[in-house]
Amino acid sequence: MTQTSSVTPAPFIFDVQAREVRARAGVFHTPHGDIPTPVFAPVGTQATVKAVTPAQLNELGVDLILSNTYHLYLRPGDELVAKLGGLHRFMNWDRPILTDSGGFQVFSLTGIRKIDEDGVTFKSHIDGSMHRFTPEKSIAVQENLGADIIMAFDECAMPHDREYSQRAMVRTHAWAERCLHAKARSDQALFGIVQGGVFPDLRKQSAEFITSLGLPGYAIGGLSVGETKADMHAALEVVDGILPEDKPRYLMGVGTPEDLVNGVLRGIDIFDCVLPTRLARHNAVMTRSMGRLNLVNAVYAEDPQPIDGACTCYTCQHYARGYLRHLIIAKEMLAATLLSIHNIHTLVQLAGDMRQAILEERFCAFAADCLVNSKQGSK
Amino acid sequence: MTQTSSVTPAPFIFDVQAREVRARAGVFHTPHGDIPTPVFAPVGTQATVKAVTPAQLNELGVDLILSNTYHLYLRPGDELVAKLGGLHRFMNWDRPILTDSGGFQVFSLTGIRKIDEDGVTFKSHIDGSMHRFTPEKSIAVQENLGADIIMAFDECAMPHDREYSQRAMVRTHAWAERCLHAKARSDQALFGIVQGGVFPDLRKQSAEFITSLGLPGYAIGGLSVGETKADMHAALEVVDGILPEDKPRYLMGVGTPEDLVNGVLRGIDIFDCVLPTRLARHNAVMTRSMGRLNLVNAVYAEDPQPIDGACTCYTCQHYARGYLRHLIIAKEMLAATLLSIHNIHTLVQLAGDMRQAILEERFCAFAADCLVNSKQGSK
């Protein structure tokens, strides 16, 4: 079993090592090790990054993973996870973990959830049983899970509905304060979440309130939920001036290679997304210079080339597209594993390359190259 | 890509290093490396051991894998595999491979196949298209695939039908001669297959004929297909006296930990079976001292123990039964991977432990212990 008991709680300090325009290279210290930033975190919804072992994640250089409070609360239950040693030991991942608050999933249960000022009552998508999340409950569940970074319970509104965005923002602020009061463990960093939809004045107001709480890190929520890229970038630019320079900034649920570059250009340090593993299960791979390929396409049947000749992942080092397509057509589970490895590598490597470019003061050129390449690739 | 082109063809010599009663410890030399025996080969039906990467197979100490000619002929096609560099390169496994002849699968297609003296006409289980296998075709397909060990095209009869067993045996003999004549590649070892059902006189006759062909190895087919253990053991004992001592002996499609021990006790060197990976996909694990466990059982929900406290596999070193059960209930692919790793390890390790015991002249005691333990475990 993984040893976690002897780890000394770290103070969640964020060391910024280099800056270039708004981009930053830093290190966030956690009880389960340092997270060099910019960083991309693959998602392990149900205490497993789908189809990939922790040993493979280690080989991929993954420094942080995200797991979902809503899913683990329902199944197997946060108390069971606590009984079996907490999430790190349960899933055999002894490096940093971030859990979301459950808010995003609960608010997505349109039609089977009811919001009030105190919290949300909802129906389980698994068995229809009734449950209730409040800020206090979300923190209690996240304390049972034991991630290094935990998130305040927030309400993610439809991004273009101003009235709702404002109401949800006000509630998110009140709930963030309650989360801070409810928090009991000292070995977890509580991050606050900025909401406000696509409305710059609301985003500004939200960033000002949330940063006033003096938390060890801040997230930007309610993006990558249907708004335009321009709206996303505008929201990032508004909050960039308000979020403190010495705290990590986390853009939730993002994204694609281009999104990562655009985020770092606007001061973001941490990203997470289900995209690499979800695409893999739909036979699609992301590349930095050719855009997205779907390997089920018959054109790849006899193709001896790797997915991406420039890629250094296990899959690209060892397998032809023709073989990967065969696995897909034959419905072999190994397809999801090999494609997930490639897709995770693409984003983890991109984050690492951006970090290196910032440290070497050549990030602007690097970012420009990436964005030009990705445009050409998606043509 | 894996380098296979520079490998010098080896002469398929079998060095017997130690014997104890009828058990042997040896090494079979192949173009893709040595196979220490006794050996257990996991099955990669469609050019992948289901849910496990070649890197994981290497970590498990797997020395040989089996792949299925029938399946690869139909999909993706043996010519495509040849075009993409042969099976080793195609599936990224640069250690020894054995392909079966396709016979077993074709004869299992009851109702959609027609046998004549020249071969078998059959309907694809995938798209209903018509195909024909002859001994010559089976060898041509296996030469396209390029395994180190290839098998003669044989007919596996119902083991208790004497008349059919005899007819199938005679046909198997004629076909073995045709396979030998058809074979053109010198870097593949053709193994003959002894048939004859549960009838000692037929088994004897078959072993005598097949060994008269002077092949580099011999298989015992038509077992583990519904006969009793006593019948299986009797068949092994009959052929044991006839098969040459200096050639490897392969018991096809076997099996369980007890079957491996019973096989080695009767002079068998090579085993293959889908059991470890198939059981894993049905949530079951094999152990050496507790029999079989099905981890979906609610009794394991909060169980902090590994599958088998005595096991040194990746899964047992890192995961509680409670976590594995969670993966199963949550329908996570990682369950199949982690359970397959454990099950393959169990049989590969058992084969290795038997080898070590034979080398140290303590195999009889070791085998007795195994058989007593497995009986107690299955109570």
Residue B48: which of A85, A90, A332 has the nearest Cβ?
A332
DSSP reduced 3-state for A218 = strand
Give yes or no for a contact between B337 and B310, defined as CB atoms under 8 angstroms apart: no
Residue A271's DSSP bridge partners are: A40, A251
pLDDT (0 to 100) of residue A107: 86
C-alpha distance across the termini of chain A, in Å:
48
Give the residue among A338, A274, A303 at the shortest CA–CA distance from A49. Answer: A274
C-alpha–C-alpha distance, residues A372 and A187, integer Å: 42
Burial class (CB in 10 A: 0-12, 13-18, 19+), B305: exposed
C-alpha–C-alpha distance, residues A190 and A182, integer Å: 11
Shortest Cα distance, chain B CAs vs residue A96, angstroms: 17
**Residue of chain A with shortest Cα separation from B90:** A323
pLDDT by 10-residue block (mean), chain A, 379 residues: 47 95 97 97 98 98 98 98 98 98 89 91 94 97 98 92 96 98 97 97 98 98 92 96 97 95 98 98 95 97 98 98 98 98 98 98 97 73
DSSP reduced 3-state for B199 = coil
For A224, A316, A371, the CA distances from A256, given in Å and listed in that order, are 10, 19, 11
Q: How many helices (H) and strands (E) does chain A have?
A: 15, 16
Burial class (CB in 10 A: 0-12, 13-18, 19+), A372: exposed
Give the residue among A303, A302, A278, A281 at the shortest CA–CA distance from A290. Answer: A303
**Residue of chain B with shortest Cα separation from A303:** B84
Give yes or no for a contact between B357 and B366, defined as CB atoms under 8 angstroms apart: yes
Chain B interface includes A352 (CB < 8 A): no
Contact A90 B320 (CB under 8 A): yes
C-alpha–C-alpha distance, residues A368 and B195, integer Å: 68
Report chain B residues whose CB lies below 8 A from the CB of A337: 51, 53, 333, 337
pLDDT by 10-residue block (mean), chain B, 379 residues: 48 95 97 97 98 98 98 98 98 98 89 91 94 97 98 92 96 98 97 97 98 98 93 96 97 95 98 98 95 97 98 98 98 98 98 98 97 73
pLDDT (0 to 100) of residue A2: 44
Q: What is the interface size between A and B, counted as CB pairs within 8 Å?
A: 119
Contact B80 A302 (CB under 8 A): yes
DSSP reduced 3-state for A198 = coil
Catalytic residue, from B100, B148, B154, B259: name it. Answer: B100
Contact A333 B336 (CB under 8 A): yes
Report chain A residues whose CB lies below 8 A from the CB of B85: 304, 320
Contact B337 A338 (CB under 8 A): no
Chain A interface includes B373 (CB < 8 A): no
For A168, B67, B79, B95, the CA distances from B38, given in Å and listed in that order, are 67, 19, 33, 16
Report chain B residues whose CB lies below 8 A from the CB of A82: none
pTM for the model stands at 0.95
Which of A73, A75, A89, A92 has the highest number of chain B CBs within 10 A, making it the mutation to test binding with B? A92
Report chain A residues whose CB lies below 8 A from the CB of B301: 76, 80
Which of A57, A323, A324 has the highest number of chain B CBs within 10 A, making it the mutation to test binding with B? A323
Give yes or no for a contact between A220 and A184, defined as CB atoms under 8 angstroms apart: no
Which residues neighbour A163 within 8 Å (Cβ) at sequence distance 6 or greater? Answer: none
pLDDT (0 to 100) of residue A287: 95
Which of B127, B332, B339, B342 has the highest number of chain A CBs within 10 A, making it the mutation to test binding with A? B332
Residue A50: which of B2, B85, B333 has the nearest Cβ?
B333
- Phi/psi at A30 (5° precision): -130, 165
Contact A1 B53 (CB under 8 A): no
C-alpha–C-alpha distance, residues B341 and B55, integer Å: 12
Q: What is the CA radius of gyration of chain A?
A: 20
**Residue of chain A with shortest Cα separation from B314:** A55
Is the omega angle on the peptide bond into residue B42 within 30 degrees of 0, that is, cis? no
With both helix axes pointing from N to C terminus, report the angle between A257-265 and A363-377 in degrees, rounded to the nearest 10. Answer: 150
pLDDT (0 to 100) of residue A9: 43
Contact B332 A85 (CB under 8 A): no
* DSSP letters spanning A1-62: ----TTPPPP---EEEEEEETTEEEEEEEETTEEEEESEEEEB-TTSS-TT--HHHHHHTT-
Which amino acid belongs to residue B261? V
Shortest Cα distance, chain B CAs vs residue A245, angstroms: 39
Shortest Cα distance, chain B CAs vs residue A140, angstroms: 20
Which residues neighbour B163 within 8 Å (Cβ) at sequence distance 6 or greater? Answer: none
pLDDT (0 to 100) of residue B345: 98
Report chain B residues whose CB lies below 8 A from the CB of A80: 301-302, 322, 326
Contact A80 B301 (CB under 8 A): yes
Exposure on the CB side of residue A53, measured as CA atoms within 13 A: 21
C-alpha–C-alpha distance, residues B273 and B95, integer Å: 18
Whether A231 is a known active-site residue: answer no
pLDDT (0 to 100) of residue A108: 87
C-alpha–C-alpha distance, residues A59 and A342, integer Å: 12
Report chain B residues whose CB lies below 8 A from the CB of A304: 83-85
Which residues of chain A from 289 to 348 reach within 8 Å of chain B, CB to CB?
A: 301-302, 304, 314, 317-320, 322-323, 325-327, 329-330, 332-334, 336-338
Contact A304 B55 (CB under 8 A): no
C-alpha distance across the termini of chain B, in Å:
48
Give yes or no for a contact between B217 and B249, defined as CB atoms under 8 angstroms apart: yes
B110: left (phi over 0), alpha (psi -120 to 50) or beta: beta
Write out the E strands in A80-206. 97-99, 113-115, 120-123, 130-133, 149-151, 189-194
Whether B161 is a known active-site residue: answer no
Residue B334: which of A51, A302, A323 has the nearest Cβ?
A51
pLDDT, tens digit (0-9, with 9 covering 90-100), for A13-64: 999 999 999 999 999 999 999 999 999 999 999 999 999 999 999 999 999 9
C-alpha–C-alpha distance, residues B195 and B235, integer Å: 10
Contact A334 B52 (CB under 8 A): yes
C-alpha–C-alpha distance, residues B125 and B74, integer Å: 9
Laid out side by side, the sheet with A33-37 consists of A14-20, A23-30, A33-37
ipTM above 0.90, yes or no: yes
Contact A320 B90 (CB under 8 A): yes
Catalytic residue, from B63, B78, B148, B272: name it. Answer: B272
